[in-house]
Amino acid sequence: MAVVGVPTEIKTDENRIAITPAGVHELSLAGHTVLVETGAGLGSAFTDDDYRAAGATIVPTAADAWGAHIVCKVKEPQQNELDFLRPDLVLFTYLHLAGQQAVQHSANAEAITHLTAALELLKTLPDTPERIQQELTLQVTLGTPLIATKGYFLEVEKVYRRALELCRSVGETPQLFSVLGGLWSFYGIRGDLQTSHELAEQRMRLAQSVRDPTFLLDAYRTLGMSLFWLGEFASARAHVEKSVALYDSQQHNSHSFLFLQEPKMHCLSFTAWSLWFLGYPDQALARMSDALALAQEYPDSYGQA
């Protein structure tokens, strides 16, 4: 059986702990030994006694917790924790954050490695609501680098279908919007336009129900694109123009890696194409010129193409 260590989180403003007493109880029932650094749970209102009652052993130092076979953390290792790392250590942390950071820097192969490793580690943990939520986050994050490196192959559908299954098992979550978006993109690119359109409509209903401006921006974008692909150019134009109206450069450009392109530029392009098919070539040229000018502001050769 494994020895699991839980050190105190030392990253600034991080008050959480990687495992709750309930999680420790499950691991203890399975025969594992859990070493919790003293005081590690105080930021989350869990005392050492709470962990002792759940079956943990309280250890006095971070080094004692890091000496375990498996170490569980919330945040990635900080600079002064790197000396604790060793070849035989299994580190279970929110590697989706490292993976997401790699995605933001277009280090997609690195991201896939981090995220796949985290999913493998999850298989060693009991099937609890916490584990399900962690897997959901990892699967959603994995979709973007898979698309970037492998295109819209069946592996991408598998990831998003698994994420959708997890969403249904835990109830409606914020990740559902991203999951529906991944499937929308998959089916649209592969030519199943009706399924893609239905998924875009689901995203719109979800965005309207939660009243999230970023969700609404992307819901109008994806539904507008689906309508364009179906030849409904007037409706397509109306939807992508609503997306542009919701765009805030300070808020949304930092999320462009989630949209795979700068969202306003994308919508201006579809506005231009819709105007062209509607018989307004001069307006179409003006909107495409706007899109190109915006694309040139960012080092994104894909967007300029």
| Structural domains in the chain, sorted by start | 3-126+196-304 (1.25.40.10)
Confidence of residue 33 (pLDDT cuts 50, 70, 90): very high
pLDDT at 304 over 70: no
Determine how β-strand 33-37 pairs with β-strand 57-59. Answer: parallel
Supply the DSSP string of 149-177, one letter for each residue: HH-S-HHHHHHHHHHHHHHHHH-S-THHH
Q: Decide which of 83 and 204 is more confident.
A: 204
pLDDT at 167 over 60: yes
Half-sphere exposure of 160 (CA within 13 A, CB side): 23
Confidence of residue 46 (pLDDT cuts 50, 70, 90): very high
SS3 of 217-280: the string is HHHHHHHHHHHHHCCCHHHHHHHHHHHHHHCCHHHHHHHHHHHCCCHHHHHHHHHHHHHHHHCC
pLDDT at 6 over 60: yes
Supply the DSSP string of 60-83, one letter for each residue: SSHHHHHTSSEEE-SSPPPGGGGG
Half-sphere exposure of 152 (CA within 13 A, CB side): 12
CB 142 within 8 A of CB 115: yes
Per-residue confidence (pLDDT) for residue 37, from 0 to 100 = 97
Per-residue confidence (pLDDT) for residue 12, from 0 to 100 = 86
Per-residue confidence (pLDDT) for residue 119, from 0 to 100 = 83
Q: In the predicted model, what is the mean pLDDT of residues 141-159?
A: 87
The model carries a pTM of 0.66
CB 207 within 8 A of CB 248: no
pLDDT digit string, tens, across residues 222-243: 999 999 999 999 999 999 999 9
